[in-house]
């Protein structure tokens, strides 16, 4: 057995080998050590190899999916090695013959299809990146849904890494295939480092473009790829490598795939990885889905709808006509309250047939997948009737297309309805899923299997009546099988003549035994009934699967149509519940938001008692396409910046937006430099990360881009930072000409308004009241005169002594200015110098008020914490020391 194991393992060195032994998948040697650590299961040993114990661990085959899920999440690949014959067959070859085994599937992060291993609300893309003729190309597919796309990469050596990282951030692949020749290429090091845990380097021969072209034409049964569009050699090579890899991992089986569709350059809004992270589009900064924009807007009721919503949010469109088509559908559902509610109620009954269909095509489906298709097709018929009840001239084009996409699958739906039970097993091999009345032969065997006692009792009563022996019994043993038994005194009543149905079988001292042809036939049927019933069910299952696969393209279109209806109606539901409005999208360079709000912050505030979100306007036009925003921290600058970027994303994905009005000229690229973080793994400080992200913006943004920048230059020395911020503002204005929001604490930048004609100053409103500062969270024209940083420090809980000291230093700095040597300030402001008092005189040693006395009178000892009390002691000690010096 170990010889067989090592031979199989040699062909799959990069995978953990799940070696089937009876009811377990066993792992040996280093695989066992790695798996036991990853799964936290017991490591044992069995047998010897080269004089050492063989490490071993195992998992039950019926619970393997749970273990596979954990291994895949930790970056392992798994080769599933099954028994290819019954152990009884192996014994026929000899008592020590080993059961034939073979790898039936390679489980990798990008090729999983099981619901237990996948996130139902997210795509799991397998992505390939390669080059050909000096160009780069991407291709990606989701094996669980059949989506298949390609995209050319328009980049030069200087921005290649940034462009590719932005594309991969949009796709968030489960696995990335890269040819070995590119794996160590200098310009791609950032990509390898960023996605190292999911990168699978493959031999360069698997990315040959001519082989890939023939492979694609063969799989999709076409003469030329021109039927699907125009593709570059790099795109074709990447797409072909995906098919090759899927076939390799599925051992010759390919799932149903849509024909490859090209995403042209500029068709979607480009958003780099840093911007996605800063804006928390699909993940919050803490790493989870909760708190992200996607979690806030998701009102979908199906898994397929949730995946489509995530894809649209990740890749907003740039074509105004395509965006308008989506918005037309949302508008219609907003107006059609009753139909929207009926449609969403029906969609809730629709299973995820996209993934069920994919499993059926690769032979890993089950009765529940058939039932899911049955239920979804039934609901599709209802939805088609619901939408068709409206006159076509009152419907937007998108809804008309959906009606056509729902098709007519009533015949297949009827077949599945009559064939399948209501309560179904997960696997076909478990049996019991074909409904009674669908197949008469199956019903007979099921009756024999399930009602054998009743049938035997019926025969016994019949024979007792025929012979007149009331004590006649029909019995069973392992030697004779079923037989009729009577006492010796009643044996003469059983006629065994030639023309009689009774046949003598055995004579005992205490009984006489007989049989009949009918009883023998029944025995044979009963003994094989369970096996024959299962065999018939499996045969019927294969026929039903074939019925489905014969209509696979139409069913796939139904699945996608249901997802689109889910997304559109969900966005309409969101618009109504959150008071969002339809944006206007065109080819202009406008960016005019009236009453804009931050969707995530507003949703969070709605759950608290902190009051409503304060809406703000934002107009970026020719005369003021660059806003310089000043004002204190905590006043809402970052929120204002982010909300305008999110409104642009929502509008171009085809959603209503959180604003009273919105007019947006299509944004080609969105850039965000908000927040601070380091990247220690690559040796980058917080300031270095800031500069890298800023460099990307200044190098790539165009006049159609939207840029939001917050606190550029604050991570270094004051004058260095001011100089960098100054230069960035000028570059954005003069070179990039982008629509931009630039928030800063460098008030000196406001002087640029006299030189930059399209820059305007704005600030966050604050109000001072009785020594306190109130943040109004409103954006107003003009520049702020203060940053109120010390007030924010006070809110954060800095010790009173530190706050007082900061106020003294600030007063001196504002009086003397920041230029020149600041060393004299330390002399003029000694540590813990006299704090302000109502009576600044210091009494002599004979008595009277001292600074210590005055400070103690200010403090309510019942209201301070132990830590504050300790700080107070240090403060008093310092005051006392200073008083002693003054008296001396």
Distance CA 403, CA 565 (A): 10
635 known member of a binding site: yes
Distance CA 623, CA 124 (A): 45
Taking alpha carbons only, the member of 149, 201, 197, 192 closest to residue 170 is 149
Phi and psi torsions of 62, nearest 5° = -75, -15
What is the widest separation between alpha-carbon atoms in the chain? 143
Distance CA 322, CA 326 (A): 7
Distance CA 579, CA 287 (A): 29
1 known member of a binding site: no
Taking alpha carbons only, the member of 355, 351, 341, 347 closest to residue 402 is 347
Distance CA 821, CA 818 (A): 9
Distance of alpha carbon 228 from the chain centroid: 28
C-alpha triplet 805, 807, 808: angle, nearest 5°: 65
Taking alpha carbons only, the member of 132, 330, 157 closest to residue 232 is 132
Taking alpha carbons only, the member of 560, 150, 149, 168 closest to residue 355 is 560
C-alpha triplet 264, 266, 270: angle, nearest 5°: 120
Bridge partners (DSSP) listed for residue 177:
128, 200
Distance CA 283, CA 281 (A): 6
Give me the helix-helix angle, 552-578 and 397-406, nearest 10°.
140
Distance CA 313, CA 240 (A): 28
H helical segments located in 669-708? 686-700
Structure tokens at 59: 């998992």
634 known member of a binding site: yes
632 known member of a binding site: yes
* Three-state SS sequence of 45-75: EEEEECCEEEEEEEEEHHHHHHHHHHHHHCC
Judged on CB neighbours under 10 Å (0-12, 13-18, 19+), 186 is exposed
799 known member of a binding site: no
Distance CA 107, CA 114 (A): 10
252 known member of a binding site: no
Taking alpha carbons only, the member of 754, 751, 773, 752 closest to residue 764 is 773
As annotated, the binding site includes 631-638
Q: Which residues are annotated as a binding site for ATP?
A: 631-638
């Amino acid at each position: 057995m170990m010889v067989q194991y090592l031979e199989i393992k040699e062909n799959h060195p990069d995978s953990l080998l799940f070696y089937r032994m009876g009811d377990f998948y066993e792992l040996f040697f280093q695989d066992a050590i790695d798996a036991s650590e990853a799964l936290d299961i017991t490591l044992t040993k069995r047998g010897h190899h080269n004089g050492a114990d063989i490490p071993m661990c195992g998992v039950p085959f019926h619970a393997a999916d749970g273990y596979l899920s954990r291994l895949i999440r930790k970056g392992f690949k798994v080769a599933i090695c099954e028994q290819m014959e019954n152990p009884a067959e192996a014994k026929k070859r000899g008592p020590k013959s080993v059961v034939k085994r073979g790898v039936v599937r390679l489980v990798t992060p990008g090729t999983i299809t099981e619901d237990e291993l996948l996130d139902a609300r997210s795509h799991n893309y397998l992505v390939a990146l390669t080059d050909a003729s000096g160009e780069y190309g991407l291709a990606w597919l989701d094996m669980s849904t059949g989506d298949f796309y390609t995209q050319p990469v328009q980049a030069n050596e200087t921005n290649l890494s940034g462009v590719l990282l932005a594309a991969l951030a949009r796709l968030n692949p489960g696995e990335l295939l890269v040819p070995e020749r590119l794996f160590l290429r200098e310009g791609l090091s950032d990509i390898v480092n960023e996605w190292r845990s999911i990168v699978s380097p493959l031999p360069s021969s698997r990315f040959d473009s001519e082989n890939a072209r023939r492979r694609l034409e063969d799989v999709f049964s076409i003469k030329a790829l021109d039927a699907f569009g125009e593709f570059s050699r790099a795109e074709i090579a990447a797409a072909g490598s995906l098919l090759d890899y899927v076939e390799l991992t599925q051992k010759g089986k390919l799932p149903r795939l849509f024909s490859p569709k090209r995403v042209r350059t500029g068709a979607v809004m480009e958003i780099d990885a840093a911007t996605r992270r800063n804006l928390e589009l699909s993940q919050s900064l803490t790493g989870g889905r909760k708190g992200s924009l996607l979690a806030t807007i998701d009102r979908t009721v199906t898994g397929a709808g949730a995946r489509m919503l995530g894809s649209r949010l990740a890749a907003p469109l740039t074509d105004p006509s395509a965006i308008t088509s989506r918005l037309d559908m949302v508008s219609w559902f907003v107006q059609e309250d009753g139909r929207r509610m009926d449609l969403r109620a029906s969609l809730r009954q629709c299973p995820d047939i996209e993934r069920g269909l994919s499993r059926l095509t690769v032979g890993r489906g089950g009765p529940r997948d058939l039932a899911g298709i049955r239920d979804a097709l039934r609901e599709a018929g209802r939805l088609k009737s619901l939408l068709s009840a409206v006159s076509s001239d009152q419907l937007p084009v998108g809804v008309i297309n959906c009606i056509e996409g729902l098709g007519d699958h009533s015949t297949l739906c009827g077949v599945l309805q009559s064939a399948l039970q209501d309560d179904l097993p997960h696997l076909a091999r478990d049996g019991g899923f074909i409904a009674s009345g669908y197949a008469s032969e199956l019903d007979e065997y099921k009756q024999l299997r399930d009602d054998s006692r009743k049938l035997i009792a019926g025969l016994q009563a019949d024979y007792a009546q025929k012979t007149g022996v009331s004590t006649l019994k029909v019995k069973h043993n392992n030697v004779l099988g079923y037989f009729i038994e009577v006492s010796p005194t009643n044996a003469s009543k059983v006629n065994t003549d030639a023309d009689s149905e009774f046949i003598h079988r055995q004579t005992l001292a205490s009984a006489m035994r007989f049989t009949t042809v009918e009883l023998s036939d029944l025995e044979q049927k009963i003994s094989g009934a369970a096996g024959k019933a299962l065999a018939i069910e499996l045969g019927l299952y294969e026929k039903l699967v074939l019925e489905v696969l014969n209509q696979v393209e139409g069913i796939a279109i139904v699945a996608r149509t249901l997802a689109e209806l889910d997304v559109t109606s969900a966005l309409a539901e969101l618009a109504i519940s959150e008071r969002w409005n339809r944006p206007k999208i065109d080819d202009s360079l406008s960016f005019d938001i009236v009453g804009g709000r931050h969707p995530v912050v507003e949703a969070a505030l709605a759950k608290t008692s902190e009051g409503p979100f304060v809406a703000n306007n934002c107009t970026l036009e020719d005369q003021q396409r660059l806003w310089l925003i000043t004002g204190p921290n905590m006043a809402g600058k970052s929120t204002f910046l982010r909300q305008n970027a999110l409104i642009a994303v929502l509008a171009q994905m085809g959603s209503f937006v959180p604003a009273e009005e919105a007019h947006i000229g299509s944004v080609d690229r969105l850039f965000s430099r908000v927040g601070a973080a380091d990247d220690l793994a690559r040796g980058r400080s917080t300031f270095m990360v800031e500069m890298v992200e800023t460099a990307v913006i200044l190098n790539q943004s165009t006049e159609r881009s939207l840029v939001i920048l917050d606190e550029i230059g604050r991570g270094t020395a004051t004058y260095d930072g001011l100089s960098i911020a100054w230069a960035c503002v000028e570059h954005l204005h003069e070179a990039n000409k982008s629509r931009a929001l630039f928030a800063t604490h460098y008030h000196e930048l406001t002087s640029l308004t006299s030189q930059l004609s399209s820059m305007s100053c704005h600030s966050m409103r604050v109000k001072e009241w009785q020594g306190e500062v109130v943040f109004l969270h409103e954006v107003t024209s003009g520049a702020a005169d203060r940053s109120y940083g010390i007030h924010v420090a006070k809110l954060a809980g800095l010790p009173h002594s530190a706050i007082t000291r900061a106020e003294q230093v600030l007063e001196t700095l504002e009086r003397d200015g920041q230029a020149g040597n600041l060393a004299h300030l330390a002399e003029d402001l000694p540590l813990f110098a006299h704090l302000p008092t109502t009576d600044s005189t210091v009494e002599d040693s004979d008595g009277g008020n001292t600074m210590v006395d005055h400070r103690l009178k200010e403090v309510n000892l019942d209201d301070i914490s132990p830590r504050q009390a300790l700080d107070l002691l240090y403060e008093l000690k310092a005051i006392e020391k200073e008083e002693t010096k003054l008296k001396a």
